[in-house]
Chain A
Amino acid sequence: MPIAEVIDSARNQGRTVLTEIESKQILAEAGIPVAVAQLAKTADEAAKFAENAGFPAVLKIVSPEITHKSDIGGVKVGLDSADEVKKAFDEIVAAAKKAEPKARIEGVAVQKMAPAGTEVIVGMSKDPQFGPVLMFGLGGIFVEVLKDVAFRIVPLEARDARQMVREIKGFPVLEGIRGQPAADLAALEGLILKLSEFVEAHPEIEELDLNPVFAYADGVIAVDARIVIS
């Protein structure tokens, strides 16, 4: 679905926070590598999507009101069969209803589980002085506890992307430590530059998180995504 249609449809529903599925549709449209997810309304549908996409599968609750999905048991990973997927669907919906009784549950997002890579976060927010800015950091405790992140003002040029990736203290992790292969830095910088172009072309986007992005020895992929529009 074209970007404008996704945004219009959310606005028509009075929403500024796009669902993971909507966010990923938009990002895929913009040429940003994402793990595409499909919205399943029933357990059977979820199983069918998982079979088509391939196992292992990941299921996540889709609700505009629930932003911290894993905290309420709204995420199941490593599902290896149609039966496991069906069971997980029912458990996720039940958990969401219990935790947030008033939340509108649209369904469950089904995607093929991406192989584990080095987790990074790439995001965008708007600064009152400088407008849209991009952030880059390593995922997990690096961003949450150590706040080891780098920023650049949009639009970025190639040098900016190269510098921000190398500016964080955790950069050696990306170069490969303890026998891990080095992350594909060119692909990571490419994703950052694509994102800069994307947010520059879409001023209606207020905030954006790709968290996590998995960086591999060859390529990168955004596994989860969230977009907030004005």
Chain B
Amino acid sequence: MTSDVQKRLDRALNPRSVAVVGDKKAMGYMWLNCMNTFKGKVYSVQVDPNEIPGIEEMGIPNYKSLGEIPDGIDYVVCAVPRPVAPRIVADCVAKKVGAVGLFTSGFAETETADGVAAQEQITTIAREGGLLLIGPNCMGIYNRRLGVRHSTDQEAGDAGSVGFISQSGTHCINFSLVGAVHGIKCSKTVSFGNAVVLDAPDYIDYLASDAETQVIAMYIEGVKDGRRFLASLREAAKRKPVVVWKGGVTTAGWRAVYSHTASLATAPAIWDAAMRQAGVVQAESLDETIDAVKALTFAGQTTGKRMGLIAMTGGQSVVITDAFEREGLEVPLLTAASYEKLAGFFNIIGGSYRNPLDAGGTIGMGFVPGNLQKLFDILEKDENVDAVAMEVGATFIARRMRQNPAMMDQLVEVLVSHKGRSAKPFLAIAHQAHVEDVMIELRKKLLDSGVATFGSFAAAAQAFARAVGYWRFRERLD
């Protein structure tokens, strides 16, 4: 991407002024409502006399055309019907706006001759006019810090650190909403739909150099230029973690092949190879994407694979070990020094401390903070351990926590303060069990305090293994 495009994209993604073209009552003035958190100036463009009073009631100045707005416009949301779209795109060119996000759909995605022709028309106008066009058939941008949203459910006001781009509007919105529940705050997200002018590599290049963005994640169905996409991913992954969630199986055109190699080179196999080469984390669902981002954002960085595990009971000790070993992580013996210290206070009636530490009795399911702190300190000093994962077994006393919320806060406090002092990655695993409401509240409190918290051993192990894989690739250890 040329630095000029990058500069203009930066203007659009950090707008000081936004214009919404064609919002209407039938949509509940969705777009204008999305902008009610925006810190800059909002303008409306609407010519329908039936729609204008409702807009003015919201206190938003309305104009008959973009050209009439007495202000430069950094970002335009275009929500007009398809037949009007070419005119609005041309107006955006004339107005020299930063970029336009085309919510308007009915283009090539309909697979009709009409749709394809209309798409070619707007593409030509935008290209010839040097306009940055996002979409069409997309939800456009979300900037949490500035309050530019594409869903009224999205949070706004404070800065985020995770950039997300998506061919699908739903996945883009869901990542920001579900992510927020898991403590993930987005820096910028872009739903880019049909990608006729700006394509995935443009956005990846932008997020790679965006100082606010610490982790990049994306939902991708297919790419137009695989080599350019791969080059952008590679460069981005050298600078910050990248998570790629691939949807759909690309069906490359069939052709006669003579060789073994060609007959085995299926699209999924090649995609997988490209992702490995780029050094990105692969995910297969929204949940996996969010878990990977949590591990990369909150857990702390390590290239080591040796886990120190804390579980509450014998059965959980067995399966937490299974989960981490299944993902290629190791659960080693601790040092002699650690065992000597553990022997001094560990309750071995109904417990054991080989690694995993079957510690429910010793730490009162997490409610004997002194002993829990001792376990943390021993694992912190143990040279055989690179990272610590702990089952938060609050299910056993969830009922008491429900009656006395201070108990939950006390547990959160111990884990958060450990994370604050520890130099080793730390994961908390809080299964929802039969007390979903309590555990979700606990998980949210931990995540909001920056503790990487997961809903199951398997999810934690998979996400952490992927994060370690990324750090190892970046350090050229694998």
Contacts and interface: CB of A to CB of B under 8 A. Distances in A.
Given A130-B270, A151-B273, A153-B273, A17 B226 contact: no
Contacts of B253: 128
B413 to A, nearest CB: 44
Interface string A108-125: 000000000000010111
Given A135-B265, A163-B478, A129 B260 contact: no
A67 B476 CA distance: 42
Contacts, number: 89
Given A129-B250, A133-B265, A151-B270, A207 B257 contact: yes
A129 B226 contact: yes
Nearest to A228: B258
Contact of A130 (B227, B259, B261, B262): B227
Interface string B444-463: 00000000000000000000
A127 B270 contact: yes
B276 interface: yes
Interface of B: 222-223, 225-227, 230, 250, 252-253, 257-262, 264-265, 267, 269-270, 272-274, 276-277, 476, 478
Interface string A127-163: 1111101110100000110010111110010011001
A130 B260 contact: no
B273 A207 contact: no
A67 B258 CA distance: 8
Nearest to A67: B258
Contacts of B478: 163
Contacts of A143: 260, 264
Interface residues of A, number: 35
Contact of B260 (A128, A152, A211): A211
B264 A207 contact: no
Contacts of B260: 121, 123, 135, 143-144, 209, 211
15 contacts: A17-B258, A121-B260, A127-B226, A129-B267, A130-B227, A131-B226, A147-B264, A151-B265, A152-B273, A152-B277, A153-B226, A163-B276, A207-B258, A208-B259, A211-B260
Interface string A201-230: 000000111010000000000000010100
Contact of A153 (B222, B257, B274): B274
